[in-house]
Chain A
Amino acid sequence: MIKKILGNKNATSQVSSLMATKQTRYEALVKALHADLFRYAYWLCREKQIAEDLVQETFLRAWRALDSLKDEKAAKSWLITILRRENARRFERKRFDMSEYEEATITDTKAMSSEQDIENHWLREKISLLPEEYREPLVLQAIGGFSGEEIAGLLSLNKNTVMTRLFRARNQLKDALEKEPEERGTYNG
């Protein structure tokens, strides 16, 4: 009986030490990847609050399934896959109260102080107006640092399609940039 209790105690301490390593892994994952994940989420839904909720839900799911993540290098794409699924669920849930205006409302509460800020703001507007199928690969490439093949894998597309979309995304943004230099001035003026 005493042996049994002692054995149990050993097992509990083992479990708690496992939990401790799990906790460490989790915290490292959060610290390393939350910013990228949030930005990806933001460009998916273009709303800060929803993006934060998505990231939160994603990390909670990640915690529950953390043992299934064997390769830390795959962590980012793993989390992105969870987040995409979470985002898709959001649409299933909110199918009926989808708002009628589709236009993105970018609310940047920060005061635009420098030239750089103004340009960022203007570019963000343009990025948010890109079709989602162009925007998502672009974000994955620029923020996520994924290659064409990896993006193709994440989005279940073939690589040529991904490269075409990346080309179109940049092409449209560059066009917009070159077309509207005057408007940019008046926009903020």
Chain B
Amino acid sequence: MDDLQFRRTIYADPQCTDEDIIQAVAADPSKQKFVNDIQQFDEKLLAALKVPVSDDMAQKLILRQALNNHQQNKKKTKIHLALAASVAITAGLIVKFMMFTPSHDSVAEYAFAHTAHEAHYFTNNDTANITLASLNEKMTSFSGNFTDKLGDLIFADYCRFDGIKSLHLVYKGITSPVNVFIIPKNDKFTYTQSFSNNRLNGRTEQYKDADIILVGDKSEPLQKWQENIKATVTWAI
């Protein structure tokens, strides 16, 4: 190894432990001195390179990380909360729409569906013992009143007529029960005066405070019923 190469190698790496460097140093005391010189210089260099580090730097770094982490966690909790809230709101809205939104456009369609759905609860042979008084009690929430009995009343209770609280009356009919729905005024339905399907007929009559829908089978004279209702029902002012 020539001298120049040797010097270059030591300058590049004073701690060099390559075999040929060690041999060269061992063979030549002046090389040993050169290595010592450079190593001494390198110590000074290292001392200069080691600029002072503030004592609390490690603490600061750990603190900074902890704060950062804390903030991220807080953000995460917020996101979770927001997610939970929006899920709850969505669920609420879905329930609301399913429960309270009219799913039928025409009153006819719904009235038939409602009647058909509850048909098996009522037969013409059921005891009809609901008095006029208890009927009128229920009618008060529609600010209506019947002056006389329409017929034998099997059932009278509030029900949801496609999402709208209304009064459902079931009277004894000629062959099967007659359904009367008293529905408060609303703008959800389009009314047709009379309607029918292959089994049932229906008629609607609109009053000042409520609409009354009648559903009965083909043998039932619904128009007669309607006239009777018109004659007996009165509406509070």
Contacts and interface: CB of A to CB of B under 8 A. Distances in A.
> What interface size band does chain B fall in?
20 to 34
A38 B8 contact: no
Interface in B176-195: none
Interface string A104-137: 0000001000001001100110010000000000
A144 B8 CA distance: 21
Contact of B61 (A55, A139, A164, A171): A55
A30 B58 contact: yes
A173 B61 contact: no
B236 interface: no
> What interface size band does chain A fall in?
35 or more
Contacts of B1: none
B49 A143 contact: yes
B27 interface: no
A99 to B, nearest CB: 21
Find the residue from B12, B13, B41 having the highest chain A CB count within 10 A.
Answer: B12
A70 to B, nearest CB: 20
A28 B12 CA distance: 32
B13 to A, nearest CB: 7
Instruction: Name the prevailing secondary structure of the A interface residues.
Output: helix
Contacts of A142: 42, 45-46, 49
A26 B50 contact: no
B49 A43 contact: yes
A34 B58 contact: yes
B206 to A, nearest CB: 51
B52 interface: yes
A123 B211 CA distance: 101
A124 B46 CA distance: 10
B48 A166 contact: no
A39 B11 contact: no
A177 interface: yes
B237 interface: no
Contact of A170 (B38, B52, B61, B68): B38
A106 B67 CA distance: 32
B47 A55 contact: no
A167 B12 contact: yes
Nearest to A106: B51
Interface string B50-65: 1111100110111011
B53 A170 contact: no
A23 B162 CA distance: 59
Nearest to A143: B49
A141 B11 CA distance: 12
Interface string A74-99: 00000000000000000000000000
Interface string B9-38: 101111000000000000000000000001
B86 interface: no
A170 B12 contact: yes
A170 B45 contact: yes
Contact of B11 (A59, A63, A119, A167): A167
Given A120-B44, A123-B47, 14 more contacts: A30-B62, A34-B61, A39-B51, A42-B51, A59-B61, A63-B65, A63-B68, A110-B52, A142-B45, A163-B9, A167-B12, A170-B42, A174-B38, A177-B41
23 contacts: A30-B61, A34-B57, A35-B57, A38-B53, A39-B50, A42-B51, A43-B49, A48-B51, A52-B54, A55-B57, A56-B64, A59-B64, A59-B65, A63-B69, A119-B44, A119-B48, A123-B47, A127-B49, A143-B46, A143-B49, A163-B8, A170-B12, A174-B11
Interface of A: 26-27, 30-31, 34-35, 38-39, 42-43, 48, 52, 55-56, 59-60, 63, 110, 116, 119-120, 123-124, 127, 138-139, 141-143, 148, 163-164, 166-167, 170-171, 173-174, 177
